[in-house]
Structure 1
Amino acid sequence: MTTRYEIQISDLLGRYLVAAKDLKAGENILTDEPFVLGPTSDSALVCFNCYLPLISKFLVCKNCAVAPICPGEGCPESFPKRWHSKSECEFFRNLKLTKSLNPMTMVQNVGSLLVLRAILKKDTDPQAWAEFMKLETHLDERRNSSIWEYNDNTVKFITTLGLLDNVLDESLVQKVCAAIDVNSFEVRGPPIPVLGYSQPLRGIYLKASLLAHDCVGNTHVSINDNNVLVCHASMDLKKGETIYYNYTDPLKGTSLRQHHLRIGKYFKCNCERCKDSTELGTYLSSAICPECKTGYVSQSSDQQWDCHECKKKFEHSKIWHTVQCCSDKFDVINKKDEKELEEYIRNVSKILAPNHYLLLEATQRLAGVLRDAINREPHPTKKLMRRKLQLCKELLPVLEKLCPGISSTKAITLYEIHVSLVQLAKKLFDSREITGNGYMDELMNAEKYLKRALEMLFIEPGNSPEGELCAKALEEYRALKATMNNVLDGIHAEGKTYVPPCETARPITEN
């Protein structure tokens, strides 16, 4: 296969990836197996073999008599990967004999398992270990900090195992901890059957770790249930163009994204979005101007916010206090209660810009609550359907700007819009509020949204939640086409001819 990326080096980005050829949106850039995968530093106990949570009881590996593993019949056969390797088992077995290592020591240090497994790679996979040690650590910034002190427990644990007896680098464990913290990807742990409960994991992917950051990325990254990471181009890329991945949540404001990057990645982002106080015209962090009441005020410096309409300037503390009050209120409301969410949106919309990240999160939550209510009710009302449709449509333009090209969040939103259009159109047709022609208009409109969603979902791993949604969407697409054919047959049976609306026509359900 032709190489789709090249590694380059710069003072600003360190080692990073660029497109080695022109790439089309949806094209696979790289596929990466984890160098190491394991529980987070504050994880509850998991099976050392398959990473299933061990809630009440566990067994120990019969070979080493140390590693905690699944009780009963052992790890599910559906999990092909076994993380408690033969070499690790032998390592534990020797420690059991020489240093009386016992299972409870491992239970108490499950949060250090990922670091331990990374260090064991030094002998079992020296080539990959060498690549791992090239990863950025920001060790100097971490030295003598609270995170450095927090990792002292891991240092002491690794030391007791004798892994540092012949190591000259006294900071090796801290360096490994840092490389994991700075470069790891969050991975879904396997869920307990029926309960669905799982522990989040962290994985180091040596190729994907070289993806540079931008708050408007040009890639789409997914990790399947086999823990394989796949990176696709989310938009067309030209040869030589830097390949970017957004390390942050695109629907968070600049201050929150910068805080996340500063605390977790140790750098300040200077991308175009971060330098633009309007966040590419979305006003995602802006408030309504207290002076003119029509413009939006955005933070222009650490001390000042400016109105884009009346040009009035405000002290940072005044506007920030207002935004913080809205944030505090959102923290305490019941996010599963339709009325509380509606009241929050209604009140906060008088203070914050329409696309403020707090309002967007409330919008997403409310849309989810309404979706569940519609699916649960035997006869959901048109009001519920219209409200959910409105919320999804409010979210879509923001996603188009901040997540251009392929985006799983955008695909899900497009899918939900299609669902609402189909449900509402059927209800209107059944109650004879629209004719067969009007029903057909609505179904064609829904089809456009569903097709766009499917175009994005096709690249998702089949065993991921998004991949499962893709399979469901395909079934619904077939059902939609069948419904459209039935409606057409009905129109023709009445001796009429269906004429598709022009692109500028507004479907009834969008009024």
Structure 2
Amino acid sequence: MEEVNVSSQEEVCGVCYETAQLKCGACKAVFYCSRKHQKIHWKQHIKDCTPFKMSENSILGRHYIATRKIDIGEIILEEIKPLVSAPLNDTCPLCLNCFSILNIFNAQPCEKCGWPLCKICTTHGSECEFTIKHRGIKVHINNFEVPHPTYKCIGVVRALALREIDPDNYKKFLSLQSHWDDNDEEKHLDNRETEFVEIARFVKGFFKLKDNEITLKEIIKILGIYQINGHEVPTTENPHVAVYDIASYFEHNCRANCSKSFTENGGIIIRAATTILKGQHITLCYTDPLWGTTNRRHHLLKTKFFDCMCNRCRDPTEFGTMFNALKCTRGECDGFLLPSSFIIKTSICSFSVNEKLPDYTCTKCHEAVMSWKNAEIILENIGIELATMTKNSTEACRKFIKRYCKIIHENHFYMVDVKLALVQLIGQQSGGLSMVDDDILDEKITLCKTLNHLLCTIVPAENRIRGLILFEMHAGLAEYGRRQGKNKLYEILTLSRDALTEAHQLLHHESEILPEGKIAQIAQQNIHEINAIMNKIDQN
């Protein structure tokens, strides 16, 4: 805890109630007369030491609201470990300790329960004792080539084990949203939770669990909690899913104001990506923020079971970026086609649309009209071509951009996908950026600038993507400066260093075992090298 001197403001000490001028540096809500009293009060205060509070309404349910102004980059929450963690669904057999993929050469069964581990790990999770206690016989897995269905039960088993060994944390786990309605069981069994029911029945049969030990309903609820509250953690060789306690109540927004990163030990750290004022909602993004509105909303409905109504989804222009826009079909018009709204009613069980879909209409001439269906056909065909496009090819990227710039907006999400790939590919050829022609180098720098501006507008919390783009911009600017001679070198190196410094600020929170964390290390080293060059220029 940090202490902050605020001599101009007098409050009372949280321990002795005497006049105090020091306050908690984290929540800035409690005052102290001395550092000694601050330490005394910490065991009690730690429970409430956050810059946010829980709120609740009928639409959002439980969510967080800022209790004070939160600055960009400030840590809002840090949870050292999750309540439970488990492999992703449909995974091939992997080590249940380090989550590394197994094969017939590196797998060895746990001596106690039989679950396979890698040859480095000797212990694993709570499924070990649970298997011994309830199954009675060891697990045998011999096929390592394809996804194994038994791994779908690991998350459930670890939650059930938590019920036995840590009832308090299991109670916290069960209090999370699952969208399971006890009074509407048959509806759920017949529709969206069919897979959950199959997994639940498998768990009961595989581990020989009787109804008086655990009900089918409780297992389905556990699966729902994983589905809605799970975070994909990339810090293991094979990503895994983790459910946290406090972090599970962060509200979704497609333009979130917070970013998240993960520690090597599986903890989660949430930071403010934008300035958050007192009373504002604190949000994370639950889906891929660089998908189009229709795709984002469909994914959220299918996996998180709610219709997103955030300001970004409500604005068909996505804050003026035209992220979903097609070009006007009238040749003489330079406008763009968009529907009046992407907010359409769908069935939460079947995910089918049950209202008339609005037409796409030109935002400029207001005369060109295209049906929603025809627009979707066009976008589907573009998506198919994008999926089959040659990978790691600058030529294929440029060909795609040239072909579809006449059909979709330059900021369309398909265009952004290709441009993000292109800026990272330019300079990867033999010889690096030094072998790239001037016009291609200029193309890289220009793309980086426009992409960064776009990302700041619609996804300011996507630190990893923005950090990578700014790192690429720095590299392009540094090479451009080298080619301009001494007169312009200092000025251009300043721009390169600014981009690099911002990239480092965005990425230095990432674990060093992740690509983004490694780039942050390179960025820090490059900053020192640029500063040395600029100092030498100053001296000369």
Q: TM-score range by the shorter chain?
A: 0.7 to 0.9
Aligned partners of 2:76 and 2:270 also within 8 Å? yes
Whichever residue aligns with residue 110 of structure 2, its letter is C
Q: Identify unmatched segments of 5+ residues in structure 2.
A: 2-48, 182-186, 342-356
Partner of 2:375: 319
Tell me the equivalent position of 1:389.
445
Structure 1 residue identity aligned to 2:104: S
Q: Secondary structure at the match of 1:269?
A: coil
Alignment pair present for 1:7 and 2:7: no
CA contact 2:130–2:161 (8 Å) conserved in 1: no
CA contact 2:152–2:199 (8 Å) conserved in 1: no
Match of 1:158 among 175, 190, 204: 204
Within a 5 Å distance, the mapping from 1:41-190 to structure 2 comes to 41-57=89-105, 58-62=107-111, 64-71=112-119, 74-75=120-121, 83-85=124-126, 88-95=127-134, 99-104=136-141, 109-140=150-181, 142-145=188-191, 147-149=193-195, 151-167=197-213, 169-188=215-234, 190=236
Over 3 Å counting, the alpha-carbon distance change for 1:273 and 1:15 in structure 2 is same
Are the aligned partners of 1:4 and 1:19 in contact in 2 as well (CA < 8 Å)? yes
Q: Distance in 1 between matches of 2:155 and 2:213?
A: 19
Which residue is 1:477 aligned to?
Answer: 527
**Aligned-partner Cα distance in 2 for 1:245–1:341:** 31
**Are the counterparts in 1 of residues 312 and 319 from structure 2 also a CA contact under 8 Å?**
yes
What's the RMSD between the two structures over aligned residues? 2.3
Q: 2:250 aligns with which of 200, 211, 214?
A: 211
Q: Does residue 459 of the first structure (1) align with residue 517 of the second (2)?
A: no
2:21 counterpart residue number = none
Residues 224 and 392 of structure 1: is their aligned pair in 2 closer, same or farther, counting only changes over 3 Å? same
Whether 1:297 aligns to 2:337 is: yes
Q: In structure 2, what is the Cα distance between the partners aligned to 1:346 and 1:293?
A: 19
Deviations 1:390-419 (A, max 9, x none): 221221111110123672211221121011
1:24–1:335: structure 2 CA closer, same or farther, 3 Å change rule? same
Q: Which residue of 2 aligns with 1:420?
A: 476
Count residues with an aligned counterpart.
Answer: 465
Structure 2 SS opposite 1:104: coil
Are the counterparts in 2 of residues 235 and 406 from structure 1 also a CA contact under 8 Å? no
Distance 1:171 1:150, change over 3 A: closer
One-letter amino acid matched to 1:416: E
| Per-residue deviation, 1:154 | 4.2
Matched ranges for 1:3-42 at <5 A: 3-32=50-79, 33-42=81-90
Using the TM superposition, give the Cα deviation of residue 95 of structure 1 relative to its aligned residue in structure 2, in angstroms.
4.5
Which amino acid letter does the alignment assign opposite residue 210 of structure 1? Y
Determine helix, strand or coil for the equivalent of 2:385.
helix
Tell me: higher relative CO, structure 1 or 2? Use CA pairs within 8 A at least 6 residues apart.
Answer: 1
Unpaired stretches in structure 1, ≥5 consecutive residues? 77-81, 192-198, 429-433, 493-511
Q: CA deviation at 1:69?
A: 1.1
SS state at 1:46 partner: coil
For 1:296, give the aligned amino acid: F
- Determine the C-alpha separation between the residues in 1 that align with 2:197 and 2:434: 53
The CA distance in 1 between the partners of 2:235 and 2:524, in whole Å, is: 27
Shift of 1:70: 1.2
Q: For residues 399-414 of structure 1, what are the structure 2 equivalents within 5 Å?
A: 399-404=455-460, 407-414=463-470
| Matches for 1:214-293 after TM superposition, within 5 Å | 214-291=253-330, 292-293=332-333
Q: Deviation of residue 474 (structure 1)? A: 0.7
**1:508 matched residue in structure 2:** none
Partner of 1:307: 362
Deviations 1:193-222 (A, max 9, x none): xxxxxx231111121110101111110111
> Residues 425-457 of structure 1: CA distance to partner in whole angstroms, max 9, x if unpaired?
21x1xxxxx331211121111122122222323
Match of 1:84, SS state, is coil
Q: Identify which range, 142-151 or 302-311, moves more after superposition.
A: 142-151
User: Relative to 1, partners in 2 of residues 1:406 and 1:104: Cα closer, same or farther, differing over 3 Å?
Assistant: closer
Moved more, 145-154 or 322-331: 145-154
Q: Name the CA distance, whole Å, in 2 between partners of 1:466 and 1:418.
A: 15
Normalised by the length of structure 1, the TM-score is 0.85
1:500 paired residue number = none
Residue 336 of structure 1 pairs with residue 336 of structure 2 = no
Letter paired with 1:260: H
Check whether the contact 2:74–2:272 (CA below 8 A) recurs between aligned residues. Answer: yes
Alpha-carbon contact 2:226-2:243 (below 8 Å) kept: yes
* Letter aligned with residue 324 of structure 1: E
Structure-1 separation of matches of 2:462 and 2:190: 42
| 8 Å CA contact retained: 1:224, 1:464 | no
Q: Deviations over 1:348-380 (max 9, x none)?
A: 001101100000001111122214226657734
Once the two structures are overlaid, the 10-residue window that deviates more, 402-411 or 415-424, is 402-411
Separation in 2 of the partners of 1:9 and 1:164?
37
**Residues 123-144 of structure 1: CA deviation (Å, up to 9, x unaligned):** 1111111111111112257432
Code of the aligned partner of 2:93: L
Counterpart contact for 1:374–1:385, Cα < 8 Å: no
